[in-house]
Copies of this chain bind each other. A is one copy, B any other.
Amino acid sequence: MTTTPAPMADRPRTVVIVMFDEVQSLDVTGPLEVLTAAGRAARPDPGYRVLTASLDGRPVRSSSGLVLTPHADLRALPRLDRDRPDVPALDLLLVSGGSGGRAPGADLVAWVRKLAPRARRVASVCTGAFLLAEAGLLAGRAATTHWAHCAEFARRFPEVELRPDALFVRDGNVLTSGGVTAGVDLTLALVAEDLGREVALTVARHLLVDLRRPGGQAPFGTGPAPGRSQPATHAGPLAELRQWIDEHPVADLSVAALAKRVSLSERQLTRAFQAEAGVPPGRYVDEARLRAACRLLEETSDGVESVARRSGYGSAEAMRRAFARSVGIPPSEYRRRF
């Protein structure tokens, strides 16, 4: 698993982090601090020159109110390093996220589109993927964004192969990361690639973050946490049945049993269920049991066997398999983290 670092660079790799009003400040500072610490840890390699940049070089107001003053004006970047036409002007063009990234102005989109071909690699943090997609840089590519905005992203950019569960996705020289702190995971991976695993490990330890986080975004958002995948309101003719499923994970929830309960044929039930809930009854039952298990793991200290039984799994092993499939981490680790 040891990676060999790339040969030492003869000058710092220029990284530009794009900021805008309503940027998420952690989307900026996470990658910035990873790259800064990596430069220190990698000496004598010159590491990175990290420039934050806004459209006009003016300070931006982050979504939490903190005002960040960028190092550079995005519009001045094409002049960077024009004395060295043999190397890309930018080693990495990284677009931050935040609510401002989901609805970027046309000027900002145009500048990102213009700068991208000058960068060896292009990346986004969190909802910065919306900006990359607006700029046409993700068409036909695999990508991810904050789990909470995946549905909107999929609707707006059907041409992108969205991977909601990933912490970050690489497709060629374009990298996208999931919500907020996933930008740190992405940047650590780039550091490992550029400067070797030892440097990335040193940085991770310094910042107190894991070098590799198991489970991707699923344990945080796209997995079956209580109150999330469960429809907010149960409406429609099968509302009562769905609520009954939620409240009785231990019951016989086979399609046959459910159909009988509402006096429909299995075929009628399956069709009506799919139309109303968007998923077939079996899938809904799987998710309801996972939600019940997550809730018990979070809110009780009951053993895994007991949680499995009370969530309707035949055995702890069956629950473990369901977790491996849908959450990406085992039940015991889910409990430790939440």
Binds B, one of A212-220, A245-253, A269-277: A212-220
Q: Are A1 and B208 in contact (CB under 8 A)?
A: no
Q: Are A211 and B64 in contact (CB under 8 A)?
A: no
> Cβ of A100 < 8 Å from any Cβ of B?
no
Which residue of chain B lies nearest to A52 when distances are taken between CB atoms in the complex?
B66
One of B26, B211, B298 near A1 (C-beta < 8 A):
B298
> Cβ of A196 < 8 Å from any Cβ of B?
no
Which chain B residues lie closer than 8 Å to A181 at the CB level?
Answer: 207-209
Which residue of chain B lies nearest to A211 when distances are taken between CB atoms in the complex?
B338
Which chain B residues lie closer than 8 Å to A52 at the CB level?
Answer: 66
How long is the Cα–Cα vector from A207 to B185 in the complex, in angstroms?
13
Distance in angstroms from A268 CB to nearest chain B CB is 37
Q: Are A36 and B63 in contact (CB under 8 A)?
A: yes
Binds B, one of A67-75, A77-85, A317-325: A67-75
Q: Are B66 and A68 in contact (CB under 8 A)?
A: yes
How long is the Cα–Cα vector from A212 to B335 in the complex, in angstroms?
9
> Cβ of A337 < 8 Å from any Cβ of B?
yes
Q: A25-B29, A29-B29, A298-B1 in contact; A211/B337 too (CB < 8 A)? A: yes
Q: A179-B207, A217-B208 in contact; A29/B338 too (CB < 8 A)? A: no
One of B1, B69, B148, B210 near A337 (C-beta < 8 A):
B210
Which chain B residues lie closer than 8 Å to A63 at the CB level?
Answer: 36
Distance in angstroms from A70 CB to nearest chain B CB is 8
Which chain B residues lie closer than 8 Å to A65 at the CB level?
Answer: 36, 50, 71
One of B24, B50, B66, B337 near A64 (C-beta < 8 A):
B50
Q: Are A182 and B210 in contact (CB under 8 A)?
A: no
Q: Are A301 and B1 in contact (CB under 8 A)?
A: yes
Which residue of chain B lies nearest to A36 when distances are taken between CB atoms in the complex?
B64
Q: A64-B50, A65-B50, A208-B181 in contact; A298/B29 too (CB < 8 A)? A: no
Q: Which residues of A (12-55) have their CB < 8 Å from a CB of B?
A: 24-26, 28-30, 32-33, 36, 50, 52
Binds B, one of A198-206, A233-241, A280-288: A198-206
Distance in angstroms from A54 CB to nearest chain B CB is 12
Q: Are B208 and A66 in contact (CB under 8 A)?
A: no
> Cβ of A169 < 8 Å from any Cβ of B?
no
Q: Which of A63, A67, A214 has the most CB of B within 10 A?
A: A67
Which residue of chain B lies nearest to A225 when distances are taken between CB atoms in the complex?
B205
How long is the Cα–Cα vector from A204 to B28 in the complex, in angstroms?
18
Which chain B residues lie closer than 8 Å to A301 at the CB level?
Answer: 1
How long is the Cα–Cα vector from A299 to B97 in the complex, in angstroms?
34
How long is the Cα–Cα vector from A26 to B184 in the complex, in angstroms?
11
Q: Are B33 and A64 in contact (CB under 8 A)?
A: yes
Q: A25-B29, A29-B25, A301-B1 in contact; A148/B213 too (CB < 8 A)? A: no
Q: A50-B64, A68-B67, A69-B66 in contact; A212/B337 too (CB < 8 A)? A: yes
In the complex, 20 of the A-B residue pairs with CB atoms within 8 angstroms, ordered by the A residue number, are A24-B33, A26-B26, A26-B207, A29-B62, A29-B66, A33-B64, A36-B63, A52-B66, A66-B69, A66-B71, A68-B69, A179-B206, A179-B207, A179-B208, A180-B206, A181-B207, A204-B220, A204-B338, A211-B338, A212-B337
